[in-house]
A and B are shown apart, each in its own frame.
Chain A
Amino acid sequence: MTDFIDAFKTALGLIATFNPNLVEILILSLKVSLTAVFFASLLGFAVGGALAVYRFPGRGAVSAVLSALMGLPPVVAGLGVYLLLSNVGPLGVLQLLYTPTAMIIAQVVLVTPIIGSLTRQACEDLLEEYDEQLRSLGASSGDIVVTLLWDCRYRLITAVLAGFGRAIAEVGAVMIVGGNIDHVTRTMTTAIALETSKGNIALALALGIVLLSIAFAVNAALIGVQRLANRFAYA
């Protein structure tokens, strides 16, 4: 037990002193996940908004697949991107495997269905109310998508935060395509997995505490956004 207490103290010390190793891992993690969420948001908003408004054959199937992919296991996403980027894969010539770019791609694959599905749901709910009014005003389908996305903005922010929560916490995808290389592709989650198996509990614990704090902060932001939306009757 005292071992753990010592480890915990060391962990807090690492955080308090901004241990360079820890900071480096934290910065890479944030860089990868924030970049991934940025691109996943662009894709997710476009796909979700279009699925809500445009009518085409197979629309229901696409929506169902996108919803199902919300539960895509990170290791499977990682495996898929690995096959794509490996030397014998179709994108092998790009030599991206074991780089932060590969990790970003894997997380985009993981997060886009989440943001896309939540966006589609939000837009569909709002479209029920807006549809006739917007068509009466002469809006084209494109106009309707843009209007819905803007008017769903608070729900879209929560979708983005949910996507970020998923990206920053997953380990399977970044492990497979990143390889957990020190100073290159080591993120908080892969480092926790490695340091724990090495018995270096202090660093693992320090990273765990930071990760948990981020999760709490994301959650607090979600509640804040919801309150703000309710205040303006925009929910």
Chain B
Amino acid sequence: MLDPTSSLEALDGRLASLPLPVEIRGLVYEAGSKRVIDGIDLTINNHRVSAIMGPNGAGKSVLLRLMHGLITPTKGEILWAGRRMCRLTARRQAMVFQRPVLLRRSVAANVSHALGLRGVVRGERAIRVDEALKLAGLQGHASTPARVLSGGEQQRLCLARALSLEPDILFLDEPTSSLDPASTLAIERLVLDAQHRGIKVILVTHDVGQARRLAHDIIFLHHGRVVEHQDAESFFAQPQSEGARAFLSGGLVL
């Protein structure tokens, strides 16, 4: 899948096999006495990039973790193409976190470790590691300790590692929030490239510009609820909710 010249029919087949729509019903998540997610109903049914936006503490990252199955909801359910998450569907997802998490190993070993966990056989791992490093522009750094890379390179490696797993669904939790413009651009290119190859991307971002550049639809969260969900063009042209209007005009949304 990392081959950008893969034929269109293959892409069509891939799109048809994506576990979509994702339907979220009555989702509630409580941490202690606090309701972080307060009854979310949401359906996402497109093959493009969906962005989750909203002020801090709105529950964006928690929603992403719930969808990825890293935490279990207090109430409600999430269905992928009508089915609950199981080990098999989890294997078709990957996630990149806000702060790059890299093992204390070489660049190549980081990718190969992830492939090993997903059960990719040894012989194929080497090929996929090469592809991933090429994708991240880190070919020359295969044996470099991953943690001496720059912040931007580390995040590129995390994204390439996630893509090497050939996921159907890719979750990104503010992947560029601590990166400079050049590194952000490199990440965004990889994200768009992934989308063109038929990977459904769900992105949490604070960055309005990034949402404009990447997103097909915007899910605006506030106080653990979905305040607004519409396609990006109309969201940015005519936000329906007061919270979103204030957020976009640069006002302080509390």
Q: Which residues of A contact B (CB under 8 A)?
A: 129-130, 132-139, 143, 147, 150-151, 232-234
A137 in contact with B117 (CB, 8 Å): yes
A sample of 24 inter-chain contacts (CB < 8 A) reads: A132-B95, A133-B101, A134-B117, A135-B70, A136-B93, A136-B97, A137-B94, A137-B114, A137-B165, A138-B87, A138-B90, A138-B117, A138-B118, A150-B105, A151-B104, A232-B104, A232-B147, A232-B148, A233-B104, A233-B145, A233-B147, A233-B148, A234-B104, A234-B147
Contact A132 B70, CB 8 Å, known A138-B90, A151-B105, A233-B145: yes
Collect the chain B residues with CB atoms within 8 Å of residue A129's CB.
Answer: 101
The 6 closest A-B pairs by CB, nearest first: A133-B101, A233-B147, A234-B104, A232-B145, A136-B95, A151-B104
CA distance A135 to B90 in the complex (A): 10
The answer, yes or no, to whether B68 is at the interface (CB within 8 Å) is yes
Collect the chain B residues with CB atoms within 8 Å of residue A134's CB.
Answer: 117
A136 in contact with B104 (CB, 8 Å): no
Q: Which residues of B contact A (CB under 8 A)?
A: 65, 68, 70, 87, 90-91, 93-95, 97, 101, 103-105, 113-114, 117-118, 145, 147-148, 165
A-B contact sample (8 more), CB < 8 A, given A132-B65, A233-B148, A234-B147: A129-B101, A134-B117, A137-B117, A138-B118, A139-B117, A143-B117, A147-B113, A150-B105
Collect the chain A residues with CB atoms within 8 Å of residue B95's CB.
Answer: 132, 136
B114 in contact with A147 (CB, 8 Å): no
Collect the chain A residues with CB atoms within 8 Å of residue B113's CB.
Answer: 147
Q: Whole-angstrom distance from the CB of A137 to the nearest CB of chain B? A: 5
Q: Whole-angstrom distance from the CB of A169 to the nearest CB of chain B? A: 31
Collect the chain A residues with CB atoms within 8 Å of residue B147's CB.
Answer: 232-234
Q: Nearest chain-A residue to B71 (Cβ)? A: A132
Collect the chain B residues with CB atoms within 8 Å of residue A139's CB.
Answer: 117
A136 in contact with B145 (CB, 8 Å): no
Q: Nearest chain-A residue to B144 (Cβ)? A: A232
Q: Nearest chain-A residue to B109 (Cβ)? A: A150
Collect the chain A residues with CB atoms within 8 Å of residue B97's CB.
Answer: 132-133, 136
Q: Whole-angstrom distance from the CB of B90 to the nearest CB of chain A? A: 6
Contact A136 B94, CB 8 Å, known A130-B101, A147-B113: yes
Collect the chain B residues with CB atoms within 8 Å of residue A233's CB.
Answer: 104, 145, 147-148
Q: Nearest chain-B residue to A140 (Cβ)? A: B117
CA distance A130 to B104 in the complex (A): 11
Collect the chain A residues with CB atoms within 8 Å of residue B87's CB.
Answer: 138
Q: Whole-angstrom distance from the CB of A142 to the nearest CB of chain B? A: 11
CA distance A192 to B226 in the complex (A): 76
Collect the chain B residues with CB atoms within 8 Å of residue A234's CB.
Answer: 104, 145, 147
CA distance A87 to B70 in the complex (A): 55
Q: Whole-angstrom distance from the CB of B116 to the nearest CB of chain A? A: 9
Q: Whole-angstrom distance from the CB of B78 to the nearest CB of chain A? A: 16
CA distance A151 to B146 in the complex (A): 12
Q: Nearest chain-B residue to A136 (Cβ)? A: B95
